[in-house]
Amino acid sequence: MTSIARALPLTLAVALVIATSARADTLAAVAPAGDDVRKALLVGPSGQVWEPDGAGTWTRRAEGGVSADVRGAAVASSALIVAGKSAPLFRRDGDRWTAMRLGERGRTVVGTGPRPSLAIGKLVFVWTGTTWKRVGRTTGAITALWAASETKVYAGSDSALVKLAGGGGFGPIATGTPAVVALAGAVPWAVTGDGVYEVAARRAHRPTVGGAPLSVFLVTATVDTAWALGTTSTGPALARFHKGAWTDAVPPPLPADDPPLALIADTSGGLLVATRGGAVLFAGSDGAWTAGTRADALPVAPPGPGPARGR
């Protein structure tokens, strides 16, 4: 985790410019936005939002504002959506957060994939471009969700990987599908208990790095390449799958004892890794990693008398 660098107030509108740290600066979710990983939005546990400049700096200009411990985030049209453990969800327009209710109660999961999606309990919703459409119901508790359209939807549970079928139900995509920890990618890949699963090919993979088994934390994919981030006995490791084969890739220089939170890829082969402690690292197609910068530019309360005191 990087150290804090505090600056003196410059104006009444801009108070602090700080590099990362402290509980308020930890990360809880990353919302991809656009075709460049450096345009992703970084979200803190109470709805703090660091917005990108597209060149490697993310700046927070407002305090958080949601009464939930954020666990997931997505961008639907121009609005940032976040979810905690259970409904309601919250939507951010400008600097204002509002509760977003879809008439359901239960555990919430924010989906991944090209189309924004949500699960509330066993019900699945997909963003149509103008509204959230209820598309189906699962039979088991949802642990992960992925959508490319209102009909191409996958959901993971602690017992199977299922696909949206006709009539709004979900069914296994094949016999013996694995329990799913996470789903991600422009095309769907799953993290399972013992590796990764290529959903389109219905094939399990157990990547290695340097000949050692990779214990996978996160996976992401473009239309023709996948990456798996995890650890081997020697430390953090990254594997790349392209044209049917896994190869070793340069891993990000992850801080010690700071677990990775998100791994995203863009169409040019760029990667971004964010950690729960607040580190942000990105790499271009050449695989060279750069540390991103997070800064705060929070407004200062106008000067005035202190709070009234009772006699």
Other CB atoms within 10 Å distance of the CB of residue 301? 8
Q: Which of 205, 215, 261 is nearest to 235 (CA)?
A: 215
Query: Which residues contact residue 99 at a Cβ distance below 8 angstroms, ignoring those fewer than 6 apart?
Result: 88, 89, 90
Beta bridge partners of 265: 271
Please give the pLDDT value at position 4.
Answer: 31
- Show me where the domains of the chain are located: 66-173
State pLDDT tens for residues 246-289.
999 999 999 889 999 999 999 999 999 999 999 999 999 889 99
Which residue positions in the chain have pLDDT lower than 70? 1-24, 301-311
Residue 161 and residue 177 in contact, taking contact as beta carbons nearer than 8 Å:
yes
The overall average pLDDT reported for the chain is: 88
Which helix H or strand E contains 57, and what residues bound it? strand 57-60
Please give the pLDDT value at position 212.
Answer: 96
Please give the pLDDT value at position 34.
Answer: 77
Please give the pLDDT value at position 310.
Answer: 44
State pLDDT tens for residues 220-239.
999 999 999 999 999 999 99
Which helix H or strand E contains 220, and what residues bound it? strand 215-221
Secondary structure (3-state) at 110: strand
End-to-end alpha-carbon separation of the chain, Å? 46
